[in-house]
Amino acid sequence: MANLFSGLEAFGLGKMSNLEVYAAEDKSKKPGDGTEAEEKKIVEADLIFDKSYTCPVCDKEFKAKTVKTGKVKLISADTDLRPKYQLVDSLKYDAIVCPHCGYSALNRFYNYMTSVQAKLIKEQISASFKGIKTEGEAFTYDEAIARHKLALVNTIVKKSKLSERAYTCLKTAWLLRGKAESLMTESNGAEVKAQIDELQKEELEFLSNAYDGFLEAFSKEMFPMCGMDENTMTYLVADLARRVGKYGESSRWISKVLTARDANERIKTKARELKELLKQN
């Protein structure tokens, strides 16, 4: 048979003149052994992008880091509805901050602004705001927590609804919990344990404020509230009461979910599970 690759000697590739065009593949070789390119490891920065916003206070445009829709997978949720996603804690990117004037709010509430509220923010926040920086391609927990605290300050200054203040407190508590969990996987030294204790104490403070805010909002605001219907919010208040040590109140709110005729089976199942947790407390 003629040698298909005769003449390769001119290129210094004479040793390859015996190649077969359709040689059978060696199936004993496995991916990653050098026979093919290693699969690129996905990191948090791969799951976020810079989204454009227009600030409703100063009307200036800016970009803020946002999680790519459909790129993150929900793996579980805590009893107080805190979602946990694979590869990234998307909660870190929920507070949008205008780098020009300091206006900040959770994404859900960002564009809701009255002229009176804008005036209050300009006078009490923008006048003293020194800007905000991001060091890396993705937010650290400390950066995310600071942005959420700034959002909470904004809710107070602009006299927002009680539910918005409570929800911002809840989201901040979730971030503090996320940071504590990340530290648990890194080390178990005395210094880290002390830091985790402080984070858990701070989380409890924010949960307590979330509970108080939602409790008052129940009697003053209409549903849906922060995207939740009445039964979901009732369940959430029940778990917040449990987490802050108000067990009698927690039991009372759980009963409301279990006896609600319009509550779906999913939320009733969660309420039953919460009732079992309450017994352990």
Per-residue pLDDT, 4? 58
Per-residue pLDDT, 215? 97
Could you tell me which residue, 237 or 16, shows the higher pLDDT? Answer: 237
Mean pLDDT over the full length of the chain? 90
Per-residue pLDDT, 155? 97
pLDDT at 17 > cutoff 90: no
Strand partners, 74: 85
Question: Mean pLDDT throughout 72-93?
Answer: 95
pLDDT at 158 > cutoff 90: yes
Confidence category of residue 7, pLDDT binned at 50, 70, 90: low
Could you tell me which residue, 214 or 25, shows the higher pLDDT? Answer: 214
Per-residue pLDDT, 191? 87
Q: Write down the pTM of the prediction.
A: 0.84
pLDDT at 214 > cutoff 60: yes
Which tens digit of pLDDT belongs to each residue from 129-143?
999 887 789 999 999
Which tens digit of pLDDT belongs to each residue from 48-59?
999 999 999 999
Confidence category of residue 35, pLDDT binned at 50, 70, 90: very low
Could you tell me which residue, 113 or 190, shows the higher pLDDT? Answer: 113
Residue 91's SS3 state is helix
Per-residue pLDDT, 92? 97
Question: Mean pLDDT throughout 85-113?
Answer: 96
